[in-house]
Amino acid sequence: MSFPNADVHQFAAIGRLLAGIVHEINTPIGSIFSNNEVIARSLDMLDGLLAENTPESMEKARRVVGSCQSLAAVDRIACERIRSVIRGLKTISRVDSGEPRKVDLNEHLRDTLKLTQAEFRRRVAVETDFGELPEVECYPQMLNQVFLNLLVNAGQAIDGEGLITVRTRAEDDGVHITISDTGRGMTAEQQGKAFEAGYTTKAVGEGTGMGLAISREIIEEKHGGSIAFESAPGVGTTFHIRIPVRQTRSVGQ
């Protein structure tokens, strides 16, 4: 299986996604630096209060300690935010081995969603309804690319504020993943061309540059699954991805 060479759409979209991720990391780092300065000044103050060793100074010292503990708690939240973004990056960038491996697709979807939050920020709300899934034998990095592509497409299909809903369910011998948006939807003509190689309704700089044609190739040819959608103009679009729990040797060959 070979993918088309990256084009201007892809590089511009990657740049925008990376800029959002940098922002998601820089914001908590700024908070940590600011809190560190306050904590350093508080410790200097605490040293003087302890040296005084009076009832009044001890009371002030307890308040200073309480403030430092609150700032430390904020810093912990900031560190967790940075770690979650980095974890998402590591998941999406990991190179697949030559053989499929068993993974928790719910966890991979969560990590991919963390990256799209950097793209959409507070403009688009995301709801998840994850069912209990068996481990799925797959090429996870390829599926992560499909998930990222569909999620970014969903967010960019929404003008202004909107909602993306991601659901997962165990289904017979496979899993069923749906990604829905409240975006502008597709016309009948657009739906007919959606899976054509190279087709896009987007301006330069939008989307991940991978396209639905390659997403279908990954799902159907590499994993023996299926991808389909339903859409209505002004209502939104829902994609349905079905992946078998176990792969066969003939898949993707």
Higher pLDDT, 28 or 71: 71
**Residue 26 in domain:** yes
Structural domain ending residue among the three candidates 54, 70, 91: 91
Q: Is residue 39 domain-shared with residue 73, that is, in the same domain? A: yes
Phi, psi of 71 (to 5 degrees): -65, -35
Q: Is residue 120 domain-shared with residue 216, that is, in the same domain? A: yes
**Residue 231 in domain:** yes
Q: Is residue 99 domain-shared with residue 217, that is, in the same domain? A: yes
Residue 99 is part of which domain span?
94-244
Q: What is the C-alpha radius of gyration for the chain, rounded to an integer number of angstroms?
A: 23
**Residue 163 in domain:** yes
pLDDT value of position 181 = 95
At 119, the pLDDT band (50, 70, 90 cuts) reads low
Contacts of 68 (CB under 8 A, 6+ apart): 39, 42, 43, 46
- The share of the chain scoring above pLDDT 90, in percent, equals 36
Structural domain ending residue among the three candidates 39, 58, 91: 91
Q: Is residue 143 domain-shared with residue 215, that is, in the same domain? A: yes
Number of domains in the chain: 2
Structural domain ending residue among the three candidates 58, 91, 124: 91
Higher pLDDT, 16 or 229: 229
pLDDT in tens, 96-106: 556 788 999 99
